[in-house]
């Protein structure tokens, strides 16, 4: 199956700074790359996604970039706020038949 690697596993930033989380995947057939945020005790929630025909997507303070050639994609959070503190997961999917998650990044935004 697909192998999704995610780095870093933990990340601490000062409020207002940017946070970047990176993922790589192994299956070149993967064509859908969502990012999920999971707060303690809650279910994962989609925050942004990107498809293989797009290189970059932005939604307010959140952006995702995709490099299909290198098989990696990144999450960028700008102007971080304490409420951004959570665990973030990247995922890679191929036509809905696979849905594999990265190992997660625990983000702490320090006020």
Partner 1 sequence: GAVVSQHPSRVICKSGTSVKIECRSLDFQATTMFWYRQFPKKSLMLMATSNEGSKATYEQGVEKDKFLINHASLTLSTLTVTSAHPEDSSFYICSAIKTENTEAFFGQGTRLTVV
Half-sphere exposure in the Cβ direction for 33 (13 Å, CA): 36
Q: Which stretch binds partner 1 (CB under 8 A): 17-25, 43-51, 66-74, 78-86?
A: 43-51
Asked if 35 contacts 46 with a C-beta cutoff of 8 angstroms, the reply is yes
CA distance 35 to 39: 13
100 near partner 1, judged by CB under 8 A: yes
Shortest Cβ 27–partner 1 spacing (Å): 13
Site string for partner 1, 63-92 (x = CB under 8 A): ------------------------x-x-x-
Q: Binding partner 1 by CB under 8 A: which of 28, 29, 51, 79?
A: 51
C-alpha distance from residue 92 to each of 12, 13, 32 (Å) = 25, 26, 6
27 near partner 1, judged by CB under 8 A: no
108 near partner 1, judged by CB under 8 A: no
Residues shown for the chain: 111
């Amino acid at each position: 199956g697909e192998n999704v690697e995610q780095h870093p596993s933990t990340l601490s930033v000062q409020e207002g700074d940017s946070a970047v989380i990176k993922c790589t995947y192994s299956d070149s057939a993967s064509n859908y790359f969502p990012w999920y945020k999971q707060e303690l005790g809650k279910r994962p929630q989609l925050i942004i996604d990107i498809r293989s025909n797009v290189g970059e997507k932005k939604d307010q303070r959140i952006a995702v970039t995709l490099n299909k050639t290198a098989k990696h994609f990144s999450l960028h959070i700008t102007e971080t706020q304490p409420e951004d503190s959570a665990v973030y997961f990247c995922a890679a999917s191929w036509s809905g038949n696979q849905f594999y998650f990265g190992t997660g990044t625990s983000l702490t935004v320090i006020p």
